[in-house]
Structure 1
Amino acid sequence: MRVVAKFGGTSLGSGDRINRAADSITAAVEDGHEIAVVASAMGSTTDDLLEEITFEADEEDRAQIVSMGERTSVRMLKAALSARGVDATFLEPGSEGWPVVTDEYGEVDAEETRSRALAVADALDAEVPVITGFLAEGPDGSVTTLGRGGSDTTAVMLGKYMEADEVVIITDVEGVMTGDPHVVEGARNVGEISVDELRNLSFRGAEVVAPSALSYKDGGLDVRVVHYQHGDLLTGGTSIEGQFENLVDMRERPLACLTVAGRAIRNQPGVFQSLSAALGESNVNIDSVASGLDSVTFYVDDEEAERAENILHREVIAREELSSVTVDSPLAVIRVTGGELPNQPGIISTIVDPLTDARINVHDLITSATSVALFVDWRDRERTLELTQDLF
């Protein structure tokens, strides 16, 4: 099996942990597996270096400085592997055979990186490459970086381009947990999670796998997260399933928009809960929700509009901070979903501008970490779908 193993800063944070990492790599090699290693900077080295740059420095100098953490890690890990009789070499920007390159705009040159990654893969039966994470090489040979979480990105990108069977992210958590074990009681490991679920969690604060890395995962590449204390690269942890695809779809049935107005209701505890609970207890499904300082809007099936209006009206009468409920229908919703959306500056204007040019009014727009939902008049649904599909 061909595996790309990425060791995070915590898993390389001391000599003992480097030894543990080297032991797990050695065991996998002795079992006949092809292993490529991606190494982060030891501990908090990168953050420490960034904090010490208290002077004016251009991007090239900053990149050279912060690269020292990863450059040290690959040398330490390569030496530990060599001490165990493993044929290993380290690769960093400037090395012969370095795989990750960017174009003149600082974006990964996918074609060139794929070609170089395959060349590294061809040598895996002879040696273990230990590759600096986070770093790339510009077209002029300069050192560039892949941004926050760049080591994860390096690993999954190389796993894809090296045609690996699996990418293993070795970190300081036992995979994805049901909650933050430092905050909640009884947090446990999740055996499997979809790439869509994890991408949303990652964009909302879960520090397990960098969102930029998940963009490179395809359906044929397994990705797994394990704790550095586990000791076995090939078992345990959380398996990340599936892949991202840009998808444009339209809800087949019309929606009704019910807006409840009130006085600063966003700051009133329990208002949103009472409104949504009232609908839920009456088996009215909520498709989407939007809120402002003085209003909450629920999108429900148009056939449920009258019943939902009566339910919400009872809540308006019961709570003095609420003023009125109104209904607008029929509306259509077109959703754009895709793993690359958050990485595209100006994506909202890219989607909305063609609708503006076509004189289509966007009734509402709701975004999440990986999707954009457009609410338009029902009569504009086909044209909106056509214009949006043309973009993706």
Structure 2
Amino acid sequence: MKPTRARFIVLAGLCMAAALAYLTRNAVGTAESTIRDDLGLTKEQSGWLSSAFFWSYALCQIPAAALSLRLGARRALPLFAVLWSLATALFGMGGFAAMVVSRALMGVAQAGLVPVAIAVMARWFPRAGQGLASGAFGGFMSAGSIVGAPLTAWLIIVCGWRPMFLWYALPGIVWAVWFARWYRNDPAEHASVNEAEAQLIAADSKVPAKVHSKPPAVPWRLLITSPAMWCICVQQAFRSAGYIFFGSWFTTYLQEARGVELITSGLLTALPLVGDLTGSLLGGAVSDAVLRKTGSQRLARQGLAAIALFICACLVFSAWFVSHALTAVLIISLGMFCAAVGNPCVSTVMMHVGGSHVATISGVMNMCGNLGAAAFPVFVPWLLANAGGWDAVLICFTALYAGSSLFWLLMKTKPNMFDGAPDAEDHCAKA
């Protein structure tokens, strides 16, 4: 019997949720200069407006993951989508204070998306297919930003930035209704999954499909004292801080440092995100192929990520010496393509080490990543005023990716290391 392919419909649903989430969260970056001029804000206020999302997003990762364990993904993800859609609408209707609150509420609502999606992929995909699934999910995060950057710039001109955010609130609600009706927490219970697909999925799955009213206790002491977990979290903080440059200040950088007009800056902002999308899609397939050929988790996941991020750092640094705007953006975009080749490795490592705690472990990792993402938009105005302007920002951006590469090299993991198995020990390699 040939396996059905319902798992790919699940993946398509997760990818659509990722695209919608990133479209709504990153629209503020493209509209930043317009909103700042319209409301008479300072750049420091704009920085806080951008970062308000990430503080609440980071701090609510673990609570959102815990809630999803009780509700199950079928109820939790639609709830999150409805809430972030309402927050998007609120952003378009208020003054500065209400907009900061709405950004924070959006962060709360979107906090559960990544950890729950990783748990869903671990439950619905065999290990040798998790890289491809993770790559697609990560790539469609950038797809939302790719569509959103030029679309936001166009809508600002056509209807203004406030009505634009009201329109952006609608697709998430439609998605929530569809997902709640179609998805099942246990693949074996879905009418579209035949026995062959159920067996393929369950062959090496370590994630329980059933939703329990009392989730397993999280081994916090083991997690907090794990050097490998520290490596995972620090690299994520560095990567996320670098990536959020494109969702916060990159359009303004193009306008002020490169003399690019609004519409053109929106289009150019999409280029690094195209690199991120294509790199994520390719990286997942490459990582799975290396795993199948060598059987080495370390080479297929940690090794690939470290190499890809180091190449990215080198390319972004080289853009510092290029004066032509389009050429510089193309070099940065190539760097983002390389970095994105390692993106799926993050989710696959979470599935590898998380076991029954994969949603919580992913929440911790994503929390740390978004603390970095929250800090960088606020740090940029300080760099502009005190450290040499946009050149300093680009150098800092380079250093973040180089640092992330280093921590991937230091990281060593074991399967299900937080489930209490006898060999569940982890350590960092000696520098």
Q: TM-score range by the shorter chain?
A: under 0.3
TM-score normalised by length of structure 2:
0.25
TM-score normalised by length of structure 1:
0.27
Query: Which structure ranks higher in relative contact order (CA pairs < 8 Å, sequence separation ≥ 6)?
Result: 2
The structure number with the bigger radius of gyration is 1
Structure (1/2) with the larger strand percentage: 1
Structure (1/2) with the larger helix percentage: 2
